[in-house]
Structure 1
């Protein structure tokens, strides 16, 4: 792929990816709490939105929000009567009864302003799980396809262009798996802070091996931070 990426396009792409990174960092894995705490939060007026999957509590999630970037998720506690233990099949009547009873309690204590939403899945995500995050839709529904499209575009640019300056394609591939799309748009093929016409000096690019090690280090560090938080 030849020709420079328009500077304005890179700026917009960077802004979307930066925002999506913040959303994922803050809200990718909401803290798990007992479902009964949702009732308490509703009574206290601390809930703005409740989102439940169609098959919860058999599986799926129940989440609730106290603000755009403040979400909680019900701890999974599967009732024993929603599955037929002889056939291992879901019992629709039992599931409907369990879900209906809990949602009736939710609606009874929820303020009129609280939005109660049925989710058909875990959120808008891209192919293969490489792009997209349920956190996008939790933050703001229309943002999910925009953020995922930005990720897909960054992947396409990385895979099809040959003018990488800081790292080779394989290095960027591994770094993308560790969330490197934001860094790619910021740096390639020239750093955004140099403006649309600045040309930095040539430099030795990271190869695939060093890119893999760097990505592995980043993922290990993020895992340690999550484990300690």
Structure 2
């Protein structure tokens, strides 16, 4: 069950990484039809050199992403969003979303984390699926309380955090690979130690990122 939950969480994140392009009328039509579940907006930001000079008009929305269900994400290409002849402002966004009561949140610019996995928490929590993060934490606790056969706990700790996919790999490979019969035990071998696990976690994170981008691009062509 934990494995299925985390795989579903990974799918949520992958689809959110590759939203399909839409227009403002598309967004407004989806709102009126009740298809929108979450809206993420980005306001105009101060200029890096002249902080008091806004790049856009006050209250101007410069980026808009929304979900129509957990696996369908759309966005308006970041930049000036026009509402007829005028720019699309936060006041207009609030007026558009108020009748549906949809959740509206501002995009938070964060530096990517290389030391711990954030994917089970950010997008799932945005969609109200906190149980995906809880499944990841529970898997971590199971790992810390067990005696793994493939790698020691320090190696798995690195794979859980930096490696991003460690929790999923742990549930597939420990305490025995899923493809083993119930009565078959893995052959005793030297376990992967912490230092090697750290190096493997860096490689795993790069592979995971590439797979996520490729899969997201593919799903964006398949999903509506």
Are the counterparts in 1 of residues 6 and 168 from structure 2 also a CA contact under 8 Å? Answer: yes
Task: Using structure 1 for the length normalisation, give the TM-score.
Answer: 0.61
Distance change in 2, residues 1:212/1:48 (3 Å): same
Equivalent residue number for residue 3 of structure 1: none
1:207 to 193, 210, 215: 193
Deviations 1:165-224 (A, max 9, x none): 001112111111222101101211222333444322212211122222222112223445
* DSSP-derived class of the 1:63 partner: strand
Equivalent residue number for residue 35 of structure 2: 48
Distance change in 2, residues 1:227/1:25 (3 Å): closer
* DSSP-derived class of the 2:103 partner: strand
* DSSP-derived class of the 2:104 partner: strand
Equivalent residue number for residue 69 of structure 1: 71
The 2-side partners of 1:201 and 1:65 are apart by: 46
Distance change in 2, residues 1:119/1:172 (3 Å): same
Give yes or no for the alignment of 1:103 onto 2:94.
yes
The 2-side partners of 1:15 and 1:176 are apart by: 17
Higher alpha-carbon deviation: 67-76 or 56-65: 56-65
Are the counterparts in 2 of residues 65 and 72 from structure 1 also a CA contact under 8 Å? Answer: yes
Equivalent residue number for residue 134 of structure 1: 122
Equivalent residue number for residue 220 of structure 1: 206
- Unaligned 5+ residue runs, structure 2? 46-60, 82-87, 109-114, 218-224
Task: Using structure 2 for the length normalisation, give the TM-score.
Answer: 0.62
The 2-side partners of 1:23 and 1:182 are apart by: 15
Higher alpha-carbon deviation: 216-225 or 151-160: 216-225
**Structure with the larger RCO, 1 or 2 (CA within 8 Å, 6+ apart):** 2
Equivalent residue number for residue 145 of structure 1: 130
Q: Aligned residue pairs: how many?
A: 183
The 1-side partners of 2:7 and 2:103 are apart by: 27
Task: Please tell me the root mean square deviation across aligned C-alpha atoms, in Å.
Answer: 3.8
Equivalent residue number for residue 16 of structure 1: 5
Are the counterparts in 2 of residues 168 and 205 from structure 1 also a CA contact under 8 Å? Answer: yes
Distance change in 2, residues 1:30/1:186 (3 Å): same
| Structure with greater helix percent | 1
